[in-house]
Amino acid sequence: MQEISNVVRAVALPPGASIAPLYPGSHLADAYAVELPTAQARQMDMESLARVLLGSQPGWARKLMVVRDAIVARFGIRTARQMEARPGKRIGIFRIFAVSDDEIIVGEDDSHLDFRLSVLRNRDAGRHGSVTMSSVVHCHNRVGRAYILLIRPFHKLIVQRSLARAVKGGFA
């Protein structure tokens, strides 16, 4: 497999993303991009594309989620199981907020923070287009700020590895 740094690149927060108005004042805001590996990935509907990306998490990330849930439940923060059981259209733990031809916004609002993730496709970049995952978090209190401080390094690795795994799998 190619080195992750050759496949996934940190990029500027895309000004064209629907979550761009949320960038100012955020406690976490980052963006990572990859080139789409196939013409088929370029034509996928955004919900399917997001399901591939968010479903490409490495096994260690799923294990970390179990540890996370055991800890956060003590602080009144929703566990993954509780988030998945919430009403509305979802991709895993994330609620779908909006879908267009080339972008999907998912996220969650909780007592400690609000999180949004944009998956934005650029059909004109690279051979088959590219996709940028942008995250924005606004914390509501000390619990949220402490939570972000703890998960920030893992968040970065999970996003990068998920993008790299999706590319390796051809977004299939």
Query: Is residue 72 a contact partner of residue 79, using CB atoms and an 8 Å limit?
Result: yes
Find how far residue 138's CA is from the centre of its chain.
15
* CA dist list (Å): 87 to 15, 39, 92: 31, 34, 12
pTM score? 0.86
3-state SS assignment for residue 47: helix
Please check the confidence at residue 50 and state whether its pLDDT lies above 60.
Answer: yes
Is residue 136 over pLDDT 90?
A: yes
Torsion sign over Cα 150, 85, 89, 130: positive
CB-side neighbour CA atoms (13 Å) of 28? 24
- Better pLDDT: 13 or 71: 13
Answer for the pair 92, 104: CB distance below 8 angstroms, yes or no.
no
CA pair distance 107, 99, nearest whole angstrom: 12
- For 120-135, the three-class secondary structure string (H helix, E strand, C coil) is EEECCCCCCCEEEEEE
Residues 6 or more apart in contact with residue 172 via CB below 8 angstroms: 40, 52
> What pLDDT shows up at residue 172?
66
pLDDT at 111 over 50: yes
Average pLDDT over residues 39-59: 84
What pLDDT score does 6 carry?
A: 58
Largest CA distance in the chain: 48
